[in-house]
Amino acid sequence: MTSTDSATLFEHPDRNLAMELVRATEAAAIRAVPFIGRGDKNAADGAAVDAMRKFLGTVNFDGVIVIGEGEKDHAPMLFNGEHVGNGRGPACDIAVDPIDGTSLTATGRQNAISVIAVSDRGTMLDASSVFYMDKIVTAAAGRGVVSLDQSIGDNLRELAKALGKPVGELSVAVLDRPRHEGLIDAIRTAGAGTRLLLDGDVAGGINAARYESRIDMCVGIGGSPEGITTACALKALDGFMQGRLAPGSDSERSNALAAGLDVDKLLELDDMVSGDNTFFVATGVTDGGLVDGVRRKGPMIRTESIVLRSRSGTVRRVVAEHLASKWL
C-alpha cells in the first residue's frame, strides 16, 4: 500500500461488511450446538443453514451465492445462484458453508466452523463443476519458493530455507484420507511432521498462513469450494496459495470443460479470487485451533469469530456474549 492509499484509508474509512456478516455465522454456529455429538450431521447442517439464511437477509448488500449448499433442486436455501442480502449496497459474490465440518459436529470433534467469504461481483471463481482441488498453502514466505509443480520433499526443503529453520521443525496439515497415504509418507520421509485433519481444510489452510500458527503448510486434495473460500481469507493474510482442479471422473472433466474451466491449469491466488477486496468470517461451532466453539456460560452463550478483510489487511477476533433466553 502506498502512502497515498494509507492516508485515504485512514481519512475516509469505509464500511466493513464482514462486521455485519459475522452475525450470520454466529447464528449458524449457535443453532448447530444442540446437534453436537448427536450423530446427525444433516440435522446440524439444516439448522445452521436456516439460521444463516435468515440473518443474511438483513445485510445491506446484493449477494449472489457462487459457492453454496449445491444446486437449487437439491438445496432449498443457500443454493448456487441464489440472491441474498436486502438488495441494497455493494454487489458481491459470496461463498457460504454454514458448517465446515458437519461430520466433526455430529461426532463432537474439534475444528467445526461456520463460514462466509465475500468478494466483489464477478471476481470469485465458480469451480462447482469439479468437486475436488489439489492445494498448497503457506504464509508469505512460501511465495516464489513452493509450488504444486514441485515434489513435496522439495517444497519442504525450500520452505524450511525460507523460514530459516530445519525441515524437522516443519508441521504440515493434511486431510486424513486414504488418497493421502503416499503424501503423508513422503512428508514424514522428508523429515517434517504432520497434523492430520479429520475434516475442515479451510481452517487448516488459514492456520498455515497465520504467522502465530504452529502449522507451516497445508497441502493435499480437498474440496474445491473450500479452496475458493480459503483463497478469500488468504488475500487478507497476505498468504501464498496455489490450486489445481482434480476431477474424479471423465464426466466431471467434461462438465468442467463445458463450464470453461481448465483442469490442468495451475491456479494462483488471483485466479481463484481476483481483486483485493475480500471479506472472510468464521465462527467456531466446536473448539479448534482457529477459534473456540460455542459455549454456554450461565445465562449467556459465548461465541468466538475471526474476521478478515483484505483491503485493510485486518484480522479481528470477535468475542460475543448472547443472552441465551433470546435463542430458546
Q: Could you read off the pLDDT of 283-325 as tens digits, one per residue?
A: 999 999 899 999 998 999 999 999 999 988 899 999 999 999 9
**Domain assignment of residue 1, yes or no:** no
- Cα separation of 203 and 205, whole Å? 5
For residue 221, pLDDT beyond 90: yes
- pLDDT for the residue 275: 82
Look at 8 and 205; give whichever has higher pLDDT: 205
Task: Assess whether 261 and 311 both reside in one domain.
Answer: no
Please report which confidence band the pLDDT of residue 186 belongs to, taking 50, 70 and 90 as the band edges. very high
State the pLDDT confidence band at 14, using cuts at 50, 70 and 90.
Answer: low
Instruction: Tell me what pLDDT residue 93 has.
Output: 95
- Cα→Cα distances 55→27, 34, 130, 217, 308, Å: 8, 19, 29, 34, 19
Tell me what pLDDT residue 15 has: 65
Confidence of residue 72 (pLDDT cuts 50, 70, 90): low
Structure-model confidence comparison of residues 80 and 146, the more confident one: 146
Contacts 24+ apart (CB under 8 A), 182-187: 183/152, 183/219, 183/220, 186/151, 186/152, 186/153, 187/152, 187/156, 187/219
Cα angle for residues 253, 245, 289 (degrees, 5° grid): 140
Task: Summarize pLDDT for 154-170 with one digit per residue, the tens.
Answer: 999 999 999 999 999 99
Let me know whether 263 and 303 are in one domain.
Answer: no
264 and 180 share one domain: yes
Query: Do 57 and 136 sit in the same domain of this protein?
Result: no
* 107, 150: one domain: no
Exposure class string for 222-256: b at 16+ Cβ within 10 A, else e:
bbbbbbbbbbbbbbbbebbbbbbbbbeeeebbeeb
More confident residue, 150 or 18: 150
Range of the domain at 168: 132-272
For the chain, give the percent of residues with pLDDT over 70: 93
Same domain, 112 and 195: no
Same domain for 261 and 291, yes or no, is no
Segment 240-289, tens digit of pLDDT: 999 999 998 999 999 999 989 999 999 999 999 998 899 999 999 999 98
Q: What is the dihedral of CA 221, 227, 233, 236, to 10 degrees?
A: 90
H helices present in the chain, as ranges: 3-11, 18-32, 41-56, 102-107, 152-163, 181-190, 201-209, 224-237, 250-258, 269-272
3 state SS of 64: strand
The cell for 20 is 455485519
Residues 282 and 268 in one domain: no
